[in-house]
A and B are shown apart, each in its own frame.
Chain A
Amino acid sequence: MRRLRALAAWIEFRLKIGGDVRQAALHPIPASSASWWYVFGSAALTVFALQLVTGVLLALVYVPSAADAWNSLQALNHDITLGWFLRALHGWGSNFMLAIVLIHMVQVFLFGAYKYPRELTWIAGVFLLLMTLGMAFTGQVLRFDQDAYWGLGIGASITGRLPVVGGALVHLLLGGPIIAGDTLSRFFALHVFVIPALLVGLVGLHLLMVLRLGISEWPMPGRIVRRETYLREYEELTHEGPPFFPDAMWKDLVFAACVLAAVALCAAVFGPFGPSGQPDPTIIQTTPRPDYFFLWLYALLSLLPPQLETPVLLIAPPIAILLLLALPLVAGEGERSWRRRPVAVLMVLVLAVALGSLTRMAGVAPWSPEMYAWSGAPVPEADLKGRSPLERRGALVLQGKQCRSCHALGGLGGMRGPALDSVATRLTTGELIRQVLQGGGNMPAYGKNLSPAETAALVAFLQTLHPEGHAAAEDAASPQ
């Protein structure tokens, strides 16, 4: 023990860091800041450290080559001892990191902690969020499977919508004319060198400012932030306050440990993410889906009117980022407590509900056709019982022409178009014929692909589709 102490003293004599560490650990904080609400920043840092460690370990095996990346992931999953667990830790760590960063941001926003003098801390935080998202996307690409391949295609398509420079940017993004070896290499460089280096630097800056400016105090309604008085008031709060260690830090430590345990538990129970099928573009029997954190974007791109897509894609993100960056500069003073900032609370709620619902909808993806419904989703028995041969022939046409890709019957089939269980109560014979042949309202026209006999059979069948006791729709002007 004495030797250890001597060694520590020897090092400290040369390093001269003990004083700074002690000061950082023991600096007094406002008594109100030793709260469970203040643990998310340190938890994000902990998960980031986990990501660095697991990332380096994965890089020992991973091959950043378009030809071999997928195989090296398979080797990690199946051949290398605990390779699957490392991949799972890294994958779940990424999900946890994004979630904690978002929670941290919402907490700072609601507590008004971005106000004077912590504006730059918030701005650095905004860039940290963007880089975390960048890590999530580039990481998804390194899991070089079908989803990654087509995800890159989507990225390229979005980039390609930029006027004038779009084409050049697509080639810069892909590192060449197509998604191939050079594409993976540059995403590897981004994910492993560029963004992590920026992240480490910015995290350092972020932390330095937290130490220099002090942890913000618990917001009290009515305690207004003013540039002239804030520093003095904060000084008074911290004057009598407890030291950061251990009074506040024990909560940080306990929460960080719980988060690590949760990541490890998820990794052990649910295992690694993918890889899904091989990144072979000729396998087109694929339904690409983005990772969880980009599902809302996937939903948004399906639900926006087509003519709004490009403007929203190209204009909304820069505006959102500018708003986030400008927030502390515009609202750097004033009320901090969320109890007195209803608009702030409302904004968080609206955003949370919007993102939540979009993510939920992307899980169902009602806009995606059911590609195998024509053979996989049979016509319900009840719809065929007691039908005439012509009507049954119509049911066959319905299946054969793949109408079920978009239209459900008995709860089975696509949801892109309306379910057909009661279509006869909505459309008359004439309207059915017109809709089938000419399409419209987001339905393709089938006029070229249906013979008159097939059309007659199909419409005869559709006319039988109404709930018991409901009459089929009739043309009020018809002589019948």
Chain B
Amino acid sequence: MSEQSQPSRRAALARMGLWLNGVFGALLSVPLVAYLLSPLRRRSGAGGRQWVDLGPSSQFPEGETRLAAFRNPFVRPWDGQTAEIPCWVRHIERETFQVFAVNCAHLGCPVRWFAASGLFLCPCHGGVYYADGSRASGPPERGLFQYDYKVDNGRLVILAGQLPTLSTSASLRRRKPCEG
């Protein structure tokens, strides 16, 4: 083995060491990234939602809109109060309801129902919605987000589980133009 070839052999070994680190680093990054992206994984149920019981439908008087709350179907034991999600239930007649997310379609602040004027008002930027959830005025570009519902054995059940935003609302029902 000549004098000159020794350093180049070590250099080759060093290069191999770098490559090995690179390869194992890349392999290791797969589980790390998968772990980081785990919130994207679809939970069981339809599109990250589950049917949630809001209680007997008789507790929502016909012609009135009332605040209800449910525990989010996907929770951690340390979620505390944050897993209690409110929603507005409008009982139109018999088995016809509308269940609205409280989150304003503008930036998600909680809208409040004013029965006397028949309007939902948002305290943040002044978004206003009519009783049927359609946009009345202010910055929102659309009506309130709605949950799918069904009446099951006299109980009102809704399909819930996600914070509604303009993107995630795909999992919430879009208001049909002719409705209300």
Are A444 and B110 within 8 A (Cβ)?
Answer: no
Q: How near does chain A come to B158, taking the closest CB pair, in angstroms?
A: 14
Asked if A153 and B108 sit within 8 Å, CB to CB, the answer is yes
Knowing A153-B107, A401-B116 touch, does A367 contact B85 (C-beta < 8 A)? Answer: no
A421 within 8 A of B: no
A288 touches B168 (CB 8 A): no
Instruction: Write the nearest CB–CB distance from A422 to chain B, whole angstroms.
Output: 22
Give chain A's interface secondary structure class: loop
- The answer to whether A150 touches B108 (Cβ under 8 A) is yes
Query: Could you tell me the distance between the alpha carbons of A406 and B163 in the complex, rounded to whole angstroms?
Result: 28
Contact between chains at B81 and A279 (CB < 8 Å): yes
In the complex, chain B residues 142-180 whose Cβ is within 8 Å of any chain A Cβ:
161-163, 165-170
Q: Say yes or no: A68 contacts B80, CB within 8 Å.
A: yes
Which chain B residues in 77-112 approach chain A with CB under 8 Å? 78-86, 102-103, 106-112
A280 and B163 form a contact (CB under 8 A): no
A149 within 8 Å of B (CB atoms): yes
The size class of the interface chain B forms with chain A is 35 or more
Q: Given A154-B108, A400-B116, A444-B119, check contact A178 B163 (CB 8 Å).
A: yes
Residue from A162, A178, A286 in contact with B123 in the complex, judged by beta carbons closer than 8 Å: A286
Contact size class for A? 35 or more
A442–B119 alpha-carbon span in the complex (Å): 14
Contact B76 A182 (CB under 8 A): yes
Q: Which residues of A contact B106 (CB under 8 A)?
A: 157
Sample (19) of A-B pairs whose CB atoms are under 8 Å apart: A154-B124, A159-B165, A170-B165, A172-B39, A178-B83, A179-B82, A180-B79, A279-B81, A285-B112, A286-B110, A302-B125, A306-B141, A368-B124, A371-B123, A401-B117, A402-B117, A403-B117, A416-B138, A444-B137
Known: A66-B82, A171-B40, A439-B136. 7 other contacts (CB 8 A): A67-B80, A160-B166, A281-B84, A306-B140, A369-B126, A371-B112, A442-B137
Residues of A within 8 A of B (CB): 65-68, 149-150, 153-154, 156-162, 166-168, 170-172, 174-183, 278-282, 284-288, 298, 301-302, 304, 306-307, 309, 367-369, 371, 374, 400-403, 405-406, 416, 439, 442-446, 448-449
